[in-house]
Amino acid sequence: IELEKALQITRNHLLSPGRETVPLADSPGRYLAEDIRADRDMPPFHKASMDGFACRKEDLPGPLEVLELLPAGQVPSEVVGPGQCSRIMTGGQVPEGANCVIMQEYVEEEADEKIRFTGTYSESYICQKGEDLKKGDLLLKKGTLLEAQHVGMMAAVGKSRVQASRRIHVGILATGSELVEVKQVPEGAQIRNSNSQQLAAQVQRAGHTAELVGILRDDKGLLVKKISEFMESFDLLLITGGASVGEFDLVPGVLQELGFSSEFDRVAVQPGKPLTFAQGKGKVCFGLSGNPVSCFVQFEMIVKPFLCWSAGGDLPYQRIRCRMENGFSRRKSDRLFFLPVVLRPGGECAPVEYHGSALLHALGELAGFARLAAGKSCLKRGEEVDVRLI
């Protein structure tokens, strides 16, 4: 099936993790479960944007009598009248009667504690009350994946605790008789299990938590027993390996035997065609490719949106337009193709050199994927492409 159809199917079976209240300091990486609104006007008063003197524009260039000094945080005690001013610091509250702030660099002191403006008037240097936000204005929308900059925004409107979606706890299982754990030294035809660690990092980056449940050999009876147990512990299980059509690709059949409904098992994308999505009894399982690059792409293109939508978020795809540094061609063009690319100075991108979806090292410099529609077999040098950043 096409990628867009696969995504729509997953949206019909989203999880419902619920919500919880968390301290503001613990909110980064969480999905916001409430709208955040301004609790007062921002700024809450007319505020000086420069060090200088608050006065009336019509009285310039002076001379002006200095009434008081207004550091940030002090409420003015004097009203500025004709021929008067108050010295004010950046962030200070502009006194009543003043309609501009003149920069201190263009002020000369005169006798009798008076000053004169020596510059040319250009702007008021006053931030107007409510200029940024009015009380009740929407600051952050429910579903936002919170980052560092959002913490400061919420602090500014008095949110010391926020409502966030509960993190989805994801189980990650690797299958394959050839696999050994990372700390082991492979022997003979064995390889280390890199996919589980990679997926765990992707889950965490997507705002949720992951638990590695180990490696299972290609044994149908063992897979049935252990997957059944794991599904009791997790709402979502990611299984890497065994999702294709070979003699030892057992995962789709095991899920069916356990009573799961397989919604799809092939997606028309390259890399990453064999991909199982199964659901049942309020649980969800993705069977991902055992090839590292394919597994990475499958998570980014399908599992990550599923996790985001389940938490109430709206996935913020980041795309940029780039020119191809070199040409690229592919032999088959029957599927949507995600070409791994690196970014170059000057708005160009270049394909990552890799020889198939099993080559993990291709991900080392990866910046994103250029999208080639089905039916398009080549990109010319200098041609513009959409690059989806990771």
- Using an 8 Å Cβ cutoff, are 105 and 120 in contact? no
Q: What's the rounded mean pLDDT across residues 242-263?
A: 74
- Quick one: pLDDT at residue 125? 93
- Quick one: pLDDT at residue 353? 74
For tokens 């962030």, the residue is 91
- Quick one: pLDDT at residue 354? 64
Give the DSSP letter of residue 268: S
Q: How many of the other CB atoms lie within 10 Å of CB of 215?
A: 18
Residues 6+ apart with CB under 8 A from 286: 236, 237, 238, 239, 275, 276, 277, 298, 302, 303, 306
Residues 6+ apart with CB under 8 A from 250: 175, 218, 220, 223, 242
- The whole-angstrom distance between residue 10's C-alpha and the CA centroid of its chain comes to 20
- Quick one: pLDDT at residue 26? 93
In angstroms, the CA 268 to CA 172 distance is 24
- Using an 8 Å Cβ cutoff, are 251 and 237 in contact? no
Split at pLDDT 50, 70, 90, the class of 316 is low
- Quick one: pLDDT at residue 68? 93
Q: What's the rounded mean pLDDT across residues 336-350?
A: 89
Residue 248 has pLDDT above 80, yes or no: no
In angstroms, the CA 88 to CA 45 distance is 14
Q: What's the rounded mean pLDDT across residues 266-294?
A: 89
- Quick one: pLDDT at residue 309? 94
Give the DSSP letter of residue 92: P
Q: How many of the other CB atoms lie within 10 Å of CB of 276?
A: 25
In angstroms, the CA 159 to CA 156 distance is 8
- Using an 8 Å Cβ cutoff, are 144 and 35 in contact? no
Q: What is the pLDDT of residues 44-77, one digit of tens each?
A: 999 999 999 999 999 999 899 999 999 999 999 9
Report which secondary-structure segment, H or E, holds 305. helix 304-310
- Using an 8 Å Cβ cutoff, are 189 and 178 in contact? yes
- The whole-angstrom distance between residue 58's C-alpha and the CA centroid of its chain comes to 50
At CB < 8 A and 24+ separation, what contacts does 150-158 make?
150/27, 150/28, 150/32, 151/24, 151/25, 151/27, 151/28, 153/36, 154/24, 154/27, 154/36, 155/24, 156/42, 157/36, 157/37, 157/38, 157/39, 157/40, 157/42, 158/39
Q: What is the pLDDT of residues 83-134, one digit of tens each?
A: 999 999 999 999 999 999 999 889 998 888 899 999 888 789 999 999 888 9
Q: What's the rounded mean pLDDT across residues 209-223?
A: 89
- Quick one: pLDDT at residue 244? 53
Buried b (16+ CB within 10 A) or exposed e, 72-83: eeeebeeebeee
- Quick one: pLDDT at residue 352? 83
Residue 246 has pLDDT above 60, yes or no: no
Q: What is the pLDDT of residues 181-198, one digit of tens each?
A: 889 898 888 888 889 999
SS3 192: strand
User: Chain-wide mean pLDDT for the chain?
Assistant: 89
- Both structure tokens of 171: 């189980």
Q: What is the dihedral of CA 76, 77, 79, 80, to 10 degrees?
A: -60
Report CA-CA distances (Å) from 81 to 51, 117, 289: 20, 17, 76
- Quick one: pLDDT at residue 213? 92
Q: What is the pLDDT of residues 32-48, one digit of tens each?
A: 999 999 999 989 999 99
- Quick one: pLDDT at residue 27? 93
Q: What's the rounded mean pLDDT across residues 155-167?
A: 94
- Quick one: pLDDT at residue 220? 85
